[in-house]
Amino acid sequence: MAKGGVVKHGDVSQRVGVESIRARGVDVEKLIKMLIANAAAEFSSTYYYYTILRMHLAGHEDYKEICEDARLEDRAHWELIVPRIYELGGELPNDLPAFHNQAGCEPAKLPNPPNAVNILTLLLESERCAIRSWSEICDMTFGKDPRTYDMAARILNEEVEHEAWFIELLAHERDGKSIPSGHFRRGTPGDAPYSKNRGFYNP
Ligand SMILES: [Fe+2]
Ligand SMILES: [Fe+2]
């Protein structure tokens, strides 16, 4: 049975949950930085860029609906990962512009002209950035930090689906081509079947 370790009896200044993953080779400081960068990307994506981009798909109600799922699922990603940053001993920057500037993905400005092809292209590339970022977290934590790995892998599941959705929509809108994503409508908008906090906070 495992006992002892570097954290002293009753010490609240250190965490066994951190020391145990450090002992397994995780660079915790680097992981916290990467999680903050990913949280910033999810935050600005769901609350700002996706909201604006989605609104400008007016008239493409089918695209708007898919975009809304992706937007709300980014909110689920934000809410899933923020508590993990604090568990690891990190914190969100106490300054919103500073937080925004640490985002791991390019801010998605409304394109000029804001037509469906340009908006769908931005959304597709934003999903691709998310896939790259969450894959890096998976690589860093695999076999060493099961909790972060599990969260990142669940987010990654949805980012991969989002990429497939936007490939389908962009191929149709821009090239008149059918590249199915295999997508079925979510049960409720932004259902986030892999990443909702439900399992943790609303059992
Ligand atoms: Fe996301
Ligand atoms: Fe996404």
Assigned token pair, 35: 């999680």
Q: Tell me what pLDDT residue 203 has.
A: 43
Residues 6+ apart with CB under 8 A from 45: 71, 74, 105, 108, 126, 130
pTM, 2 dp: 0.93
Sign of CA dihedral 175, 178, 183, 186: positive
Is the pLDDT confidence value at 113 over 60? yes
pLDDT recorded at residue 188: 86
CA of 21 to the centre of ligand 2 (A): 28
pLDDT higher than 80, residue 191: yes
Q: Starting from the CA of residue 137, give the closest ligand.
A: 1
pLDDT band of residue 197 (cuts 50, 70, 90) is low
Query: How far is 24 from 146, CA to CA, in rounded Å?
Result: 11
Rounded to the nearest 10 degrees, the angle between the axes of helix 116-141 and helix 28-44 is 160
Residue type, 112: N
Task: State the distance from the centre of ligand 1 to the C-alpha of 51, rounded, in angstroms.
Answer: 14
The residue-averaged pLDDT of 151-170 equals 97
For residue 124, the ligand closest to its alpha carbon is 2
DSSP alpha helix (H) spans, 11-115: 16-23, 28-44, 50-55, 61-87, 96-101
Tell me what the mean pLDDT of segment 120-130 comes to: 96
